[in-house]
Amino acid sequence: MANKERMTSRERVLKALNHQIPDRVPIDLGGFQTGIHKRAYIELLDYLGIDDEVKILDPVQQLAQPCEELLERFHVDIRYICAHGPDNFKGGIEQNERQGKLWHDLKDEFGVVWSMPDKQQLYMDISHHPLADANVDDIKDYPFPNGGDPSRFTGVREAALKMRQNTPYAISTGIGGVVYEICWYMRGLEKWFMDMIDNPAFCEALLDQTLKFWLDYFNGFMAEVGDLIDIVMIGDDLAGQSGPLFSPDFYRKIVKPRQKKLVRHIKSLLSRAGSRDTKAKIWYHTCGSCYEYIPELIDNGIDILNPVQIGLVNMEPQKLKSMFGKQLVFWGGGIDAQHVLPFAKPGEIREHVRRNIEIFKPGGGYVFNNVHNIQVGVPPENIVALFDAAYEFGFYD
């Protein structure tokens, strides 16, 4: 007998997030860490015969905003609600010529400039760090953006209400709470790493400013949608291919207390937001082999870990599920995105997905996605095999 759905998408997601067994594993596609590059998206649309005007969700990562027809084709259970820039921020991409080449430049609210060569148009990299030559006193005078500017949130509640009332999907915020990474964006990675050793006071002063921005931001955002959403996404990359990117002592003494303060603050706002039986869960994103930090993140108060970069040291699905499966929801980890998804045949993709789902899905606590975004060069037939296998093997008995 063919598998049959017995729940709405939102019911399914809430079951999984509460470590209960849904009818099938929920599926995600379309977020800022669970999305698809515009070139891969265009090829996928052509392969499936879907007509869509491509819209850019994230210019830095060049992610497309998937259309409803594609999301329904892949049985995607989550939709996203995002705030926007304040009225006094004039963002947007400018085209500038430098050294005979055309560049696409984007200046964000913190003064960081992101650039992409016109001939490539793959991703944007940082071309200007506004605090590269700053000292601690300069931080006090720097014009940091106002996270709580109410114009950021105009129309957000209306959009969330429409989604809640007219669709069956779980609702997630876009990514926020980027307390740590924004610091090195502003300072420059090499100088920031030197500061962590030689100038920790500078690091603390800058972290306090980014934390303030996000505390103010979530005050405003949760006041608008805290009673309507199911997932709040935050994140900072803490790990690389083989382990932590920087000293775990620095993380525990300086970064962690600020992350923990943010998580606890968001949860306090959610508790005030309404009387729903199920409060939104906190989703945390860090790439890499983050095994060492998982107990720290749990202590911070997070509920969900993404992207679950299987294939790295200490990130084996069975190990993660057995060690932390009762405390964390794993969101991602569907396939090795570096070595398998781009290069394997569809039949191999199907088998990899089957094995990973069978490990992650027992007892709930799992949402399926690729490890991070689907990149340029992934064959469309592999993407189809990825999500079709997730649907086929995701059903519970």
Judge contact between 216 and 153, C-beta under 8 A. Answer: no
Structure confidence at residue 3 (pLDDT): 84
Structure confidence at residue 242 (pLDDT): 94
Residue 137 lies in a domain: no
Judge contact between 145 and 1, C-beta under 8 A. Answer: no
Residue 17 lies in a domain: yes
Structure confidence at residue 275 (pLDDT): 44
Residue listed under structure tokens 């055309």: 102
Residue 129 lies in a domain: no
Residue 322 lies in a domain: yes
Q: What CATH number is associated with residue 173?
A: 3.20.20.210
pLDDT in tens, the chain (397 residues): 468 999 999 999 999 999 999 999 999 999 999 999 999 999 999 999 999 999 999 999 999 999 999 999 999 999 999 999 999 998 889 999 998 999 999 999 999 999 999 999 899 999 999 999 999 999 999 999 999 999 999 999 999 999 999 999 999 999 999 999 999 999 999 999 999 999 999 999 999 999 999 999 999 999 999 999 999 999 999 999 999 999 999 999 999 999 999 999 999 999 887 645 458 999 999 999 999 999 999 999 999 999 999 999 999 999 999 999 999 999 999 999 999 999 999 999 999 999 999 999 999 999 999 999 999 999 999 999 999 999 999 999 8
Residue 120 lies in a domain: no
State the total domains in the chain.
1
**397 contacts: CB under 8 Å, gap ≥ 6:** none
Q: What is the sign, positive or negative, of the torsion defined by CA atoms of 211, 201, 290, 19?
A: negative
Residue 31 lies in a domain: yes
Expressed as residue numbers, the domain containing 151 is: 9-89+146-393
Residue 217 lies in a domain: yes
pTM for this structure?
0.96
Residue 256 lies in a domain: yes
Structure confidence at residue 274 (pLDDT): 63
